[in-house]
């Protein structure tokens, strides 16, 4: 049995030659040649192995065969650690009895499982390898170019895997971050097997529930709190990225998914700032991602107009004409190209790798987060600082208009992020009552932005909605102002 500790990066195929050149040129790098690998992945029709969190394959190379089973492991910040068992076999036929008995669940009928196994998908790729030494550590780097195929459908494979053969996990991360400084890469969330299951239509669509509060209930130290905050953020970022790529043909989904990805990045940025870990380079790379996602507000406003639940256009006789224009507006934002440009930007993948590296440095105790107070005291302090910023920005005696609320949108978002990070540490009823009107204000700001987009569209179409829009905006602002003043009088829950 071997326990892999590895990190996977995705990269554009056009970067292959540059990657090979870079890996050849690194100090203490030993090229290990290339091989062509053909792999068949097996499971039962009811996906019994997948339910056991196992993956089974037969790999062929130079007329030799090897069967491998991977069992349940862990993923922290994109670094995978998963036990695997490799057995040489003389033909491309599965023999489960060759694996150790103790890996199977209690009571499992392995003979019956083996009889039901069938090949679900295949991967076919060329692998180039390097052994790279960093001080007392040895990292194997594998560059894979090829395809994954199932049911007559094919997807490309362009992956770079870093596997720790000996030494400290930090060496693996340092090497990967160095590569990401020069080549556009991004954390690879999905394994070849995961991609194969999805291509074979034998995996559920990607989903991610809205993040209400980060689970800090079992945490009792600032160090562990930071690790939980950052690892949760990185994990959600990777999943949202995958969901974005899956939705590039559905324009109405892209603004909300992009908003959620940006919110995830902002939550991480906010957490780094609270722990005094936000340096100039990190700040620049977060700003870089913000620039790539500048379409989010416009996209959300247009999709708000098209949302059947909101029914903003339902009472207008020109609703169909405006909806067509709103759809054209979504097309004009060119969101798929903006997403591709973001993923191809050096800043994107390098920021991800810096965050993973930072996470492991904190876990290893190389960064001290002791600020002389306990977690609850620290959370109270962060909540109070955020609250003071909001009360100074929008005092109760001020009368705010639509433009004011738009300008405060980001600050309000960031204040809510503080509650997301630490809210689980407090009494649920008092917390939720306090936060509810502020969350309503965020929704109100989004509706105000939709009215603004509707005004722009109606002007272009020579449709006079001035009085109607003014009445709508006036009614909404009246409700928002009442809600805001009531919220400012509420007793904080911390």
Residue 271 has pLDDT above 80, yes or no: yes
| 2 or 184, greater pLDDT | 184
What three-state secondary structure class fits 335?
helix
pLDDT tier for residue 272 given thresholds of 50, 70 and 90:
very high
Percent of the chain's residues with pLDDT above 90:
78
State the DSSP code for 39: E
| Residue-by-residue DSSP string for 471-483 | HHHHHHHHHHHHH
* Residue 287 CA: distances (Å) to CA of 256, 269, 348: 19, 10, 10
Residue 309 has pLDDT above 70, yes or no: no
Q: For the purposes of burial, counting CB atoms within 10 Å of the CB of 55, is it exposed (0-12), middle (13-18) or buried (19 or more)?
A: buried
* CATH number corresponding to 2-204: 2.40.320.10
Candidates 127, 139, 125, 126; CA nearest to 26 is: 139
State the DSSP code for 313: T
Give me the half-sphere count of Cα atoms (radius 13 Å) on the Cβ side of residue 224: 10
Residue 312 has pLDDT above 90, yes or no: no
Residue 1 has pLDDT above 60, yes or no: no
pLDDT tier for residue 191 given thresholds of 50, 70 and 90:
confident
Q: How much is the average pLDDT of 297-308?
A: 89
What three-state secondary structure class fits 118?
strand
Residue 77 has pLDDT above 80, yes or no: no
> Which residues have CB under 8 Å from 306's CB, separation 6+?
252, 323, 326, 327
Q: How much is the average pLDDT of 9-18?
A: 94
149-163, 205-219, 385-399, 403-417, range with the lowest pLDDT: 205-219
State the DSSP code for 275: T
CA 127 – CA 324 distance, rounded (Å): 48
Span between the terminal Cα atoms of the chain, in Å: 50
pLDDT on residue 81: 73
Looking at every residue in the chain, the average pLDDT score rounds to 91
Candidates 298, 417, 278; CA nearest to 355 is: 278
Q: At what angle do helices 428-460 and 319-332 cross, to 10 degrees?
A: 100
Residue 176 has pLDDT above 80, yes or no: yes
* Residue 37, strand partner residues: 125
pLDDT on residue 308: 60
**Contact status, residue 335 vs residue 299, Cβ threshold 8 Å:** yes
> Which residues have CB under 8 Å from 332's CB, separation 6+?
none
Residue 78 has pLDDT above 90, yes or no: no
pLDDT digit string, tens, across residues 203-232? 777 778 888 899 887 777 899 999 999 999
pLDDT on residue 217: 72
């Amino acid at each position: 049995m071997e326990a892999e500790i590895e990190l996977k990066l995705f990269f554009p195929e056009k970067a292959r030659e540059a990657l090979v050149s870079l890996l050849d040129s690194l100090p203490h790098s030993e090229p290990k040649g290339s091989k062509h690998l053909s792999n068949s992945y097996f499971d039962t029709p009811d996906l019994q192995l997948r339910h056991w969190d196992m993956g089974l394959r037969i790999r062929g190379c130079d007329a030799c065969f090897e069967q491998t089973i991977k069992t349940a492991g862990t993923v922290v910040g994109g670094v995978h650690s998963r036990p695997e068992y490799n057995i040489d076999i003389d033909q491309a036929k599965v023999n489960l009895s060759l694996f150790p008995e103790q890996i199977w669940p209690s009571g499992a009928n392995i003979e019956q499982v083996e009889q039901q196994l069938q090949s679900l998908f295949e991967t076919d790729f060329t692998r180039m390898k390097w052994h790279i030494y960093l001080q007392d550590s040895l990292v194997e780097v594998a560059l894979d170019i090829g395809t994954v195929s199932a049911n007559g459908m094919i997807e490309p494979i362009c992956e770079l895997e870093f596997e720790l053969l000996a030494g400290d996990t930090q060496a693996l991360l340092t090497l990967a971050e160095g590569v990401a400084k020069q080549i556009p890469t991004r954390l690879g969330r999905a394994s070849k097997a995961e991609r194969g299951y999805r291509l074979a239509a034998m995996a559920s669509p990607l989903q991610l529930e809205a993040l209400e509060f980060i689970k800090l209930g079992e945490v009792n130290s600032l160090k562990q709190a930071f690790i939980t905050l950052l690892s949760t953020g990185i994990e959600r970022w990777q999943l949202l990225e995958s969901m974005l790529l899956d939705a590039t043909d559905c324009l109405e989904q892209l603004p909300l998914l992009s908003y959620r990805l940006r919110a995830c990045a902002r939550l991480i940025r906010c957490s780094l700032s609270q722990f005094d870990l936000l340096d100039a380079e990190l700040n620049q790379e977060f700003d870089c991602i913000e620039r790539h996602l500048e379409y989010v507000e416009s996209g959300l406003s247009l999709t708000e107009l098209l949302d059947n639940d909101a029914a903003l256009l339902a009472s207008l006789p020109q609703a169909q004409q405006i909806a067509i224009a709103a759809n054209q507006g979504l097309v004009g934002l060119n969101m798929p190209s903006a997403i591709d440009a973001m993923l191809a930007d050096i800043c994107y993948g390098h920021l991800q790798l810096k965050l993973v590296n930072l996470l492991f440095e904190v876990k290893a105790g190389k960064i001290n987060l002791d600020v002389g107070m306990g977690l609850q005291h620290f959370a109270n302090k962060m909540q109070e600082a955020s609250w003071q910023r909001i009360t100074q920005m929008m005092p109760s005696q001020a009368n705010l208009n639509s433009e004011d609320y738009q300008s405060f949108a980001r600050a309000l978002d960031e204040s809510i992020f503080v509650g997301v990070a630490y809210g689980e540490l407090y009494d649920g009823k008092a917390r939720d009552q306090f936060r509810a009107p502020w969350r309503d204000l965020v929704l109100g700001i989004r509706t105000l932005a939709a009215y603004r987009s509707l005004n722009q569209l109606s002007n272009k179409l020579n449709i006079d909605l001035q009085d109607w829009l003014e009445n709508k905006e006036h009614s909404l602002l009246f409700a928002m102002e009442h809600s805001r003043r009531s919220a400012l009088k509420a007793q904080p829950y911390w």
